[in-house]
Structure 1
Amino acid sequence: MKHRYLPMTEQDETEMLKAVGVNSVEELFVDIPQSVRYEGIMPMSGALNEPALLKHMRQLSDRNADFDRYTSFMGAGIYDHHIPVVINHVISRSEFYTAYTPYQPEISQGELQAIFEFQSYVCELTGMKVANASMYDGATALAEAAALASAATKRKRVVVSRTVHPEAREILLTSARGLGLEVVEVGYVNGITDLAELEAAITDDTAAVLVQTPNFFGCLEDIRPIEKLIHASKGLLVMSVNPLSLGLLESPGELGADVVVGDAQPLGIPASLGGPTCGFFAVSEPLMRRIPGRIVGQTVDSEGKRGFVLTLQAREQHIRREKATSNICSNQALLALCASVYMSTLGKEGIREAALLNLRKSHYASGRVEGSNAFSLSFTAPFFNEFVVKLPAGAEAGSMNAKLLKAGYIGGYDLGVAYPELAGHLLVAVTERRTKEEIEGFFREMEACL
């Protein structure tokens, strides 16, 4: 019996088979040898009615460790931050929820205004002159920054710190192969970039230094000496930042950054099993015309009324492909709207307060580690809301996380996965959502796991 939701009827099937000149569906696969075909019935249940199917799907979803039922100390790029309820209300409006991309500005004024405000907020946070309409995520934004730096300097070598998110570095390497870029990685000392190794890696052919702060270990990089080193060789400084941390820290623009990228997930975007998120991309004014994607601008019409337009869209769909700054074809409009609503709802003082709560609670938690006989802090460099915990000799991070999950906690990221030299170390994140009781309970449970 045909499933009632399938639009194709038996008559439709008969007519299509006749049109292509075969008598059965089986004849369409005649070129596939019997030896490689699947024989028998696929291992799946029989047909389920609607109530049974819904029950089955709920059972599957309950196997996910979500932030509602578990207390999360996992960060590593995706964080459990407070999301004001107004965000979901705004982004669920059909005008935004169904919008694809504003190709026709004259009928997309609301969407364009939202993007314009996102750009403005990003400029405010980063201290940069120009921001684009958003990127797919922070990791791809970093790769795009390397491409921009190479094109702007006409150099083919980029230097990246190993303290940059390992997934972002993987994406950078993938993009570099297509662009013919040489990627040089430099190590770290005490959780931050090794300045001596960095200085040795910078040559006259270096297009940019790519650094992340707070970095993947949660530590704050010392940007000023890095800025001097790369600018002395006439290269560009690319900074990847946590936007929420900028509620407290000196802006990248004040530190001399040429390009600033990052992921807007901390700004009101749900974790959603790891994505999608929303990247941001901001540059100094001289690099404005090299920015990937597009920029929404504000103007006035013939009657003097405020309006919004796509000011810059030097992408392959609009100009000759060889002249395009990037092949990025769209932007994360809905998730950029999440970030815009978050920043407008909290305001400057609210963002500062949220950042301060992250700082204070994470440092309270790190104090709990320092007072422990079982654990220790791996690095002494200043940090924002993440830090690395060294487990006792013989303890395995993966095994501990499995035990923590049974106790209702999502443990820290096992650093041994991406950094073999840090096996037995956990990257622990503490956001504003964590309470003193949760922090104490988490470390008690960690000690019990031993």
Structure 2
Amino acid sequence: MGSYIPSTRQERQEMLSAIGMSSTDELYAAVPESVRLKELNIPEGCTELEVREKITGMAGKNKVFSSIFRGAGAYNHYIPSIVKTVTSKEEFVTAYTPYQAEISQGVLQSIFEYQTEMCQLTGMDVSNASVYDGAVAAAHEAGAKVIMGVNPIALGLLKTPGEYGVDIAVGEGQPLGMPLGFGGPYLGFMTATSAMVRKLPGRIVGETKDANGKRCYVLTLQAREQHIRREKASSNICSNEALCAMTAAVYLAAMGPKGIRQAAVSSAAHAHYLASELCKIPGFSLVTDKPFFHEFVTTTPIPAKILEEDLAAEGILGGLPVEDGILWCCTELCTKEKIDKLIQVIKAVCQEVA
């Protein structure tokens, strides 16, 4: 992330004079005249007011749902207000890779805390400073190692990967304080046993002491493409927007172990209540009898597309149509009242179609 500050006409002329040129056209003297663009076919610039009105009009086309029963990889969890309060501070919003540890102590500390919390959540020994998303983290050869892909909220209810004795735990960190936003930016987490630490791609922040004996933070074990020969680098996409990792860190700190467990228990309870109520409607049944956390697939007696449209008209985003039926999802935000309204609408739609 960054900003673009245009140079003035005088500044541009000073730069040209410094290299012995009088115009920008001279910079492209080596480019054949036949392939040069004479003008760009783009609209004229707009005032701030005009841009605001256009953007507001575009935003008005979005459908904002009061109830969401769809997951499939991105989940609508409650986010404590303190998360945005902390991460929206301007000194954090533009933060990226803290290459210079001496002047990046605040960002390094936030990453260190993120790593610590992810290790506590997964029961593993070490964590990197995140990767771009969960798919980037579940995409490497397993070999003889045991790798577990996990839902971080579910870890508030289930055994941790560490308790199962796995070597590497990966997953999508979006449920940890990141809102639904057209697919991102999200957060891929990767934790491992201490034996795997030198194989772990990406940044790892360590705690140490400075020359005065005060606590400080440094980038350690930097097996990155910027620092070593590329054939020995463990990753070429090892960094993530530090803001995503900080968001997860603030969320986990705000929720605490009890809060994460409560979110997990509520999500599972709501999902099982929804499943039982759906199965009371003729034509709806669970596709499998296997245990589930907060997502499940049911058959549907009516076309999923029709049901989806009728639910949307009531301000409800229904489950995701899939090959075998509909994939439903519940989080702690799917209260009993919202589930009961969903069931009521579905029953009405079924009667109309019948």
Relative to the length of structure 2, the TM-score reads: 0.87
Question: 2:27, 2:188 → 1: CA distance?
Answer: 47
Q: Determine the structure 2 residue equivalent to 1:124.
A: 120
* 1:334, distance to aligned residue in structure 2 (A): 0.6
Q: Aligned ranges for residues 315-330 of structure 1 at < 5 Å?
A: 315-330=224-239
- Deviations, residues 320-373 of structure 1 (Å, cap 9, x unaligned): 111111112422311111111111111111111111111111111111112222
For the structure 1 residues 445 and 9, does the alpha-carbon distance in structure 2 shift closer, same or farther, using more than 3 Å as the test? farther
- Residue-by-residue CA offset, 1:230-262 (whole Å, 9 max, x unaligned): xxxxx2111111101100101111112111001
In 2, Cα distance between equivalents of 1:291 and 1:97 = 26
Q: Tell me how far apart the structure 2 counterparts of residues 327 and 21 of structure 1 sit (CA, whole Å).
A: 36
Aligned to 1:448: 348
* Aligned pairs for 1:356-375 within 5 A: 356-375=265-284
Which residue does the alignment assign to 2:333? 433
Q: 2:55 aligns with which of 45, 57, 76?
A: 57
Q: Which amino acid aligns with 1:447?
A: K
Q: Distance in 1 between matches of 2:217 and 2:6?
A: 42
User: 1:437 corresponds to which letter in structure 2?
Assistant: E
Is the 8 Å Cα contact of residues 201 and 238 (structure 2) preserved in structure 1?
A: no
Query: Equivalent residue for 2:34?
Result: 30
Deviation of the 1:19 alpha carbon: 4.7
Matching residue within 20, 29, 38 for 2:28: 20
User: Could you say if the C-alpha distance between residues 325 and 19 of structure 1 is closer, same or farther in structure 2, counting changes exceeding 3 Å?
Assistant: closer
- 1:18: how far off? 4.6
Is 2:69–2:330's contact at 8 Å kept on the other side of the alignment? yes
Q: Give the Cα separation in 1 of the matches to 2:277 and 2:224.
A: 50
Matched, 1:262 2:171: yes
The SS at the match of 2:191 is: strand
Partner of 2:193: 284
1:329 and 1:382 map into 2 onto residues whose CA distance is 35
Partner of 2:19: none
Q: Secondary structure at the match of 2:92?
A: helix
Q: Distance in 1 between matches of 2:122 and 2:289?
A: 26
> For residues 298 and 19 of structure 1, do their structure 2 counterparts lie closer, same or farther at Cα, with a shift above 3 Å needed?
closer
Seen in structure 2, the aligned counterparts of structure 1 residues 247 and 399 have a Cα distance that, compared at 3 Å, is: same
Alignment counterpart, residue 353 of structure 1, candidates 262, 266, 274: 262
Partner of 1:354: helix, strand, or coil?
Answer: helix
Partner of 2:306: 399
The one-letter code of the counterpart of 2:306 is S
Q: Aligned equivalents of 2:230 and 2:319: distance in 1?
A: 44
Contact persistence 1:374–1:447 (CA under 8 A) = no
Q: How does 1:416-431 map to 2 (within 5 A)?
A: 416=323, 422=324, 425-431=325-331
Say how many residue pairs are matched: 337
Distance in 1 of aligned mates of 2:266 and 2:275: 14
Structure 2 spans left out of the alignment, 5+ residues: 17-21
CA-to-aligned-CA distance 1:254-295 (integer Å, 9 cap, x gap): 112111001111111111121110111011122111001021
Alpha-carbon deviation of 1:443?
2.3
Quote the RMSD (CA, aligned, Å): 2.7
Counterpart CA distance in 1 for 2:32 and 2:52 is 34
- Within the candidate set 82, 89, 94, 1:93 is matched to 89
C-alpha distance in 2 between matches for 1:385 and 1:307: 41
- 1:301 is displaced (CA, Å) by 1.8
Residue of structure 1 in register with 2:287 after alignment: 378
User: Deviation at 1:8?
Assistant: 7.4
Equivalent residue, structure 2, for 1:157: none
1:328-347 to 2 correspondences below 5 Å: 328-347=237-256
Query: 8 Å contact 2:283–2:299 — kept in the other structure?
Result: no
Mapped to 2, the partners of 1:271 and 1:28 lie a distance apart of 48
Distance 1:21 1:51, change over 3 A: same
Question: 2:66 maps to which residue?
Answer: 70
2:99 corresponds in structure 1 to 103
**Letter of the 1:408 counterpart:** G
The answer to whether structure 1 residue 141 and structure 2 residue 137 are counterparts is: yes
Residue in structure 2 matching 1:414, options 304, 321, 325? 321
Cα displacement (A) at 1:52 = 3.9
1:172 aligns to what? none
Say if 1:402 and 1:104 are closer, same or farther in 2 by CA, change over 3 A. same
Instruction: Go from structure 1 to structure 2 and tell me whether the alpha carbon gap of 1:323 and 1:441 turns closer, same or farther (over 3 Å shift).
Output: same
Are the structure 2 counterparts of residues 105 and 7 from structure 1 closer, same or farther at C-alpha, using a change threshold of 3 Å? Answer: closer
Deviation at 1:130, TM superposition (A): 1.0
Q: Which amino acid aligns with 1:436?
A: K
Tell me if 1:246 matches 2:155.
yes
Identity %: 43
Aligned-residue offset at 1:32: 8.2
2:93, 2:228 → 1: CA distance?
Answer: 29
Instruction: Report the 3-state secondary structure (helix = DSSP H, G, I; strand = E; otherwise coil) of the residue aligned with 1:381.
Output: coil
3-state SS of the aligned residue for 2:153? helix
Deviation of 1:95 (Å) = 2.1
